[in-house]
């Protein structure tokens, strides 16, 4: 009985110390490369279709955006909060689900010679607090023509 108590005590200390070993708290995002700005969704927009898509999204129009992030009428009495000119910018999104503390490094590389856009996301989770972080990772990039190939690379550390 004493051995079992010691075992459970060691397991409890290990579990508690796992969260204290994080060198970041909550959600920490770093964005580099050819990103014009980050898009934070207001309560006006749902995200179930984007989460269910389980792939990267390249949106070149408001209609495409609303296909994946539908407007919630009841939550939007104030009006539309999406301020993106799709003539000059396109949106990239890649939904991830983090656990507890989540660090996300995002980079967009646009190669005009290769006619290619690469959106790279690296995710690191730390801790066991039971909180889920649903992150759409929506960024605006300069508009590219339809002949560009858009690729998404994801890595979880």
- Helix runs in 37-120, H state only: 48-53, 62-68
**pLDDT tens, position by position, 87-131:** 999 999 998 888 888 889 999 999 999 999 999 999 998 887 766
CA 157, CA 146: separation in Å to the nearest integer? 33
**pTM of the predicted model, to two decimals?**
0.79
For residue 74, the model assigns a pLDDT of: 64
Give the pLDDT mean for 63-74: 85
For residue 4, the model assigns a pLDDT of: 55
CA 155, CA 32: separation in Å to the nearest integer? 16
pLDDT band at 3 (very low <50, low <70, confident <90, very high): low
Closest of 91, 81, 2, 68 to residue 42, by C-alpha: 81
CB 88 within 8 A of CB 120: no
Higher pLDDT, 100 or 57: 57
Query: What is the average pLDDT value for the chain, to the nearest integer?
Result: 82
CB 117 within 8 A of CB 148: yes
What's the N-to-C CA distance of the chain in angstroms?
39
């Amino acid at each position: 009985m004493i051995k079992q108590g010691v075992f459970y005590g060691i397991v409890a200390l290990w579990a508690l110390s796992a969260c204290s070993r994080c060198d970041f708290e909550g959600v920490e995002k770093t964005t580099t490369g050819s990103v014009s700005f980050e898009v934070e969704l207001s309560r006006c927009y749902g995200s179930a279709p984007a989460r269910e898509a389980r792939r990267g999204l390249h949106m070149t129009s408001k209609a495409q955006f609303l296909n994946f992030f539908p407007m919630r009428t009841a939550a939007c009495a104030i009006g539309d909060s999406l301020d993106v000119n799709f003539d000059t910018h396109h949106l990239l999104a890649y939904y991830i689900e983090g656990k507890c503390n989540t660090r996300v490094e995002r980079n967009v590389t646009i190669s005009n010679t290769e006619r290619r856009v690469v959106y790279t996301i690296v995710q690191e989770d730390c801790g066991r607090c039971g909180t889920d972080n649903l992150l759409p990772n929506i960024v605006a990039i300069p508009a590219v023509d339809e002949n560009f190939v858009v690729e998404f690379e994801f890595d979880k550390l």
